[in-house]
Structure 1
């Protein structure tokens, strides 16, 4: 196996390991690239097990990356006096609270105005740029039907909202939506939407 073949074979595995360890898509990609660059600069003929070598290397690089981030964070915090530290914490907490309120409010409107299938198609199309062919496979609907549902959802959301109660009880879909935004992978959000669709279908049949 030559070097190009090894990179093509092991890149997905190394990327998965790095992403799980550092939690950042961009950082994971950089770490994997750096791992391969260092591997290519070594005498690969002396490496008996390339797969094991690369896994160990990317794991060590992830640990070094996380330790560097921790040192940087500690240095920043050490430079703050107690008063500034309290203000910094309050600011971070306020931002997190404010962000969650905004997400919850937006999803509340979507929950109130859209049917589960409309919601799933709208969010995946509008926010994650899924094309209609992908939506067709996810929800087992024809592309034209998905296009119509997306248009209908946009129409409903463009109507005057008025006073919509902010009483969303489905915290899981909010958590999954935020997770999808953070990691760029809406798998859990899709599962939750499908669960809602099935619940609504079973309810209508009973």
Structure 2
């Protein structure tokens, strides 16, 4: 595409690329699959008479969503054969993403996990409507449903998500404070400190993808999670370092063993306590935690 920088189709695609990637990523939870969707979108867009397209942004979003839907349905079979819990791929994001409350929430690990519980069509409708503000008529044309049906799907999906998402948006500064308390307690193996920062029914999920060792089922309850964390730190068998980072627009931790990235830990905070810990160890999902991925809702 770099050879045709003045081509109108290329210019339009490049201008909206970050938006299209964000749409695909929120639909799929996988940067690698989102990039594949963008390739498919470009191939279809390159065959369009751009001069006849009234709203290029809307047209490109429609192509991207349709390709994402196709891939999401195929991914369901892949996830069924996945070893252990499947977590979204963490993305290192720029500070401006964290400052955009709407964007940071829409790509947060906690919300992305909730979106995993929706059907492909529900997810597409929810993402387009709630995150990107697309009109019902345009969504209907994208997903092949009537506007009335899309309104019903949107209402159902919103109710489903609202019942499972955090009750309130927590500011980055409050999240960082909780994260620092957790990090300090984990590094010193302070049992009391960990119990103070974890909610009684905290859920710990680890994604090793069958490549790295990880719990095959979620661990529920502060006592069990504390025992697991303390035991893991004690058995590291290498120089463990933990550093704050920002993934998916939210404070997180990157863990290294002997200088090599072992995983990224994101969290869900409610009432100043951690209700969810999400640890991604699968090496295939750690390719975007050292260089920033630009995201946008516009």
TM-score for both structures, normalised by structure 2: 0.32
**Of Structure 1 and Structure 2, which has the larger fraction of its residues in strand?**
2
TM-score for both structures, normalised by structure 1:
0.45
Larger helix proportion, structure 1 or 2? 1
Name which structure has the greater RCO, CA cutoff 8 Å, separation 6+. 2
- Kindly name which structure, 1 or 2, has the bigger radius of gyration based on alpha carbons: 1
